[in-house]
Structure 1
Amino acid sequence: MDEFYEKLSTDSTYVINILNTDCPYLDIPFHFHPETEIMYMEKGSGTRFVGDHSEAFAEGDIGLIGPNLPHVWKSDSVYRENIPGLTAHVQVVHFHDAVLKGPLAVLPEMKAINQLLFESQYGIKFFGSARENLEMMMKEMVKASGIDKLLQLIKMLDFMSKTEERQMLASTGYSKIMKSADFDRFDKAHRFMIDNFQTNIKLETVSSMVGMTPTSFCRYFKKRTKKSFHTVLNEIRVGHACKLLSEGKMNISGVGIASGFNNISNFNEQFKKIKGITPSHYIKTRQ
């Protein structure tokens, strides 16, 4: 999955820009930009990639993405089949966080928002009743204009900063990599893992691809992500498995194979290690 810098086509006369659009499916590249982003998936489903994190998303998904953090929401393959009425509807807010700095930043009332913006460098998703409240607030922002739009943004960020129903996405190591000179090497390995996790990826293949021995690559990878190569690979695979299990179109064994695990025993073991429950229990929580 290639990653690239995106220069947004925004109106420079405003500090907040909103994109409200319908499209057949989402298929933009893995990208980053200096603006902070609030992404609201009003309609659609697929897989969300934020830094080194991947996870299935569904209708109502809301995320806060900090400046220069690679990310993409990709629609499920069914959206490419031109089924009548099956489209993606997204609302995206872009803003420069500089508007919330300067004199505003030192106010006591801004302390929680400042912390939220710091956490956004890893990407944040919202769930539960917080997500439902943010859906309504997002719709209000889309309708607002002028100073009301800015006030609505501050209101949303204040709510985000106070809710406990939020989760950071990318690992702390990934954010640091974005600032390092060897990001290209790491990104090449990570892209290969995302694009090929359903196959039997060999450590030797990935390490050779970036010009390192397997031992050196393992040390390099863990130093930057705080996780082993195989842990991150299994997290990507389990994230995909969760999406397939939620769809309910395949049995557990088939889901394991389709997600890159070579046998059902290994799939069950890794799934429980990462999610805390077995695949069969996960299915019950989704019914």
Structure 2
Amino acid sequence: MKVLPFKIPKTDDSSFRVQVDIMPQFYDILHQHPESQITLIVKGHGTVIQGDYIGNFSEGDVFIFGANVPHVLKSDPSYYDEDSTEMCHAICVFFDSESFGKDFFELPEMRSVNDFMRKSVRGLRLNGDAKRRVSKIIIEIEEHDGITKIISLLNIFNLLSQTDEHQWLSKEPHNLNVDESEGKRLNDIFQFTMREYHRPITLDEVAEVANMTPSAFCRYFKQRTRKTYVSFLNELRVAHACKLLLNKEINVTEVCYRSGFVNLSNFNRKFKSLTNHTPSQYQKVHFQEQLL
């Protein structure tokens, strides 16, 4: 999907790029680039979209975004308040298949890494000890140079290729061929939805954002994202509900309405279909894990 192509600046003194972002909000435009990306969220929380995946991100998360796969980290609304003093902080490592030479990943010793990289177009989130170990290397890699910097990235590759402590993001490789103008249209739809999902949204409204009739919009969105707009909207709402349920002061009914659902039974049904838990069960499991 050609969604606002993003050029990663290259330097003459390094075969890959380490970028530290400290800003009021993360870059919030759906975009893609030919490099694979490893990102550590040092500070910040919000919604992550990669391919057909929608979920939440928070401090300590480590993501791998595949090459040429549309993705975005959308900071929570509180980061956009005029009087907000919150800041987002991420460390990103960008590399491509030729960062270490044209045939480097084809070496026999790199077979497991190469297999992992091919699968990584689905994107993934690290868990457990793998997350802790990769986070440590990412934090240190910024201070390294020369061969030490290369060895650090190779250590990350080795860890990633050997661990099963991760969650795949997209259900399948996401490689859609959409021109730049359609990419902008999709981004407008995503931005509108992420801004307005807390209230009822009609198909007429979102179709107007896309400058289409409702029926044409429904076909367009399904073709481009492999899901209906209603499914996309419900996934955003459930992702937001998951964040609200982590607050003991907010009851399930309030979470339902603050997430954009108009009745409790529909909320419970959609929530369970996407998380395999009822809202109450989800909340209970989370607080039990905190006690461990």
Q: How far, CA to CA, are the matches of 1:184 and 1:229 in structure 2?
A: 17
Q: How far, CA to CA, are the matches of 1:105 and 1:95 in structure 2?
A: 12
Q: 2:175: which partner in 1?
A: 176
Query: How many percent identity over aligned positions?
Result: 33
The amino acid of 1:286's aligned partner reads: H
Moved more, 236-245 or 96-105: 96-105
Q: 1:33: which partner in 2?
A: 33
Q: 1:50: which partner in 2?
A: 50
Note the C-alpha offset of 1:100. Answer: 4.9
Q: 2:290: which partner in 1?
A: none
Q: How far, CA to CA, are the matches of 1:129 and 1:213 in structure 2?
A: 49
Aligned residue for 1:130, secondary structure, equals: helix
Does 1:243 find its partner at 2:243?
A: yes
Note the C-alpha offset of 1:263. Answer: 1.0
Q: How far, CA to CA, are the matches of 1:235 and 1:264 in structure 2?
A: 16
Note the C-alpha offset of 1:33. Answer: 2.9
TM-score by length of 1: 0.84
Note the C-alpha offset of 1:17. Answer: 2.0
Moved more, 138-147 or 220-229: 220-229
Contact 2:65 2:123 in 1 (8 A): yes
User: Any unmatched runs of 5+ in structure 1?
Assistant: none
Contact 1:37 1:93 in 2 (8 A): yes
- Cα-to-partner distance string for 1:86-128 (whole Å, 9 max, x where unaligned): 6443222122332256322222332232233223333221112
Distance 1:52 1:196, change over 3 A: farther
Q: 2:257: which partner in 1?
A: 257
Q: How far, CA to CA, are the matches of 2:46 and 2:112 in structure 1?
A: 31
Moved more, 187-196 or 269-278: 187-196
Note the C-alpha offset of 1:184. Answer: 4.4
Contact 1:124 1:168 in 2 (8 A): yes
Superposition pairs for residues 4-15 of structure 1, below 5 Å?
4-15=4-15
Q: 2:139: which partner in 1?
A: 139
Q: How far, CA to CA, are the matches of 1:274 and 1:101 in structure 2?
A: 42
Contact 2:52 2:226 in 1 (8 A): no
Q: 1:274: which partner in 2?
A: 274
The number of residue pairs the alignment matches comes to: 280
Superposition pairs for residues 40-189 of structure 1, below 5 Å?
40-78=40-78, 81=83, 87-100=87-100, 102-170=102-170, 172=172, 175-177=174-176, 179-181=177-179, 182-189=182-189
Q: How far, CA to CA, are the matches of 1:212 and 1:20 in structure 2?
A: 39
Note the C-alpha offset of 1:238. Answer: 0.5
Contact 2:15 2:100 in 1 (8 A): no
Contact 2:106 2:114 in 1 (8 A): no
Aligned residue for 2:157, secondary structure, equals: helix
Please, what is the CA RMSD of the aligned residues? 2.7
TM-score by length of 2: 0.82
Note the C-alpha offset of 1:82. Answer: 5.0
